[in-house]
Amino acid sequence: MSEFNLATDRFRQECCPMAVFTPLTESDVRSFLAGYAVGDLVGFEGIAAGIENSNFFVDTTCGRYVLTIFERLSAQHLPAYLGLMRHLAARGIACPDPVARHSGELQGTLHGKPGALVTRLTGRSVERATAEHCARVGALLAAMHRAAADFTVMPDNPRGRRWWALTAPQVHGFLDAAQRALLETEMAEQQAFSASADFTALPGGPVHADLFRDNVLFGEPHPGETVPRLSGVIDFYFAGCDSWLYDLAVTANDWCIDEASGEFDRDRLHALLAAYRRERPLTAPEMRAWPAMLRAAALRFWLSRLHDLHCPRPAEVIQPKDPAHFERILRARRLRVPAPD
DSSP 218-268: EEPPPTT--SPEEEEE---TT-EEEEHHHHHHHHHHHHTB-TTT--B-HHH
First CA to last CA across the chain, in angstroms?
61
- The domain defined by 3-119 carries CATH number 3.40.50.720: no
CA distances from 75 to 10, 90, 150 (A): 32, 23, 23
Pick from 142, 167, 196, 154: which is nearest to 300 by CA?
Answer: 167
> Distance (Å, rounded) from C-alpha 296 to C-alpha 279?
24
Rounded Cα distance, 193 and 97, in Å: 37
- pLDDT of amino acid 224: 82
Residue 125 backbone phi and psi in degrees, to 5: -75, 165
Q: For domain 131-335, say whether CATH 3.90.1200.10 is its number.
A: yes
Residue type, 116: A
pLDDT at 21: 83
Q: What's the pLDDT at 66?
A: 96
Model pLDDT, residue 320: 77
- Alpha carbon of 168 to those of 165, 319, 320, 322: distances in Å? 6, 21, 18, 17
Vertex 239: Cα angle to 236 and 243 (nearest 5): 140
Cis ω for the linkage preceding 338 (within 30 of 0): no
> What is the pTM for the complete model shown?
0.89
pLDDT of 14 reads 32
Q: In the chain, which ranges are continuous DSSP H helix?
A: 3-14, 26-33, 78-90, 131-148, 161-172, 177-194, 197-200, 244-255, 266-279, 284-310, 324-335
At 73 the pLDDT is 83
Structural domain spans, the chain: 3-119, 131-335
pLDDT digit string (tens) for the chain, length 341 residues: 343 343 333 333 333 334 578 899 999 999 999 999 999 999 999 987 666 789 999 999 999 999 999 988 888 889 999 999 999 999 999 999 999 999 999 999 999 999 999 999 999 999 999 999 999 999 999 999 999 999 999 999 999 999 999 999 999 999 999 999 999 999 999 999 999 999 999 999 999 999 999 999 999 888 888 878 999 999 999 999 999 999 999 999 999 999 999 999 999 999 999 999 999 999 999 999 999 999 999 999 999 999 999 998 765 446 678 999 999 999 999 998 888 87
Residue 4's pLDDT is: 38
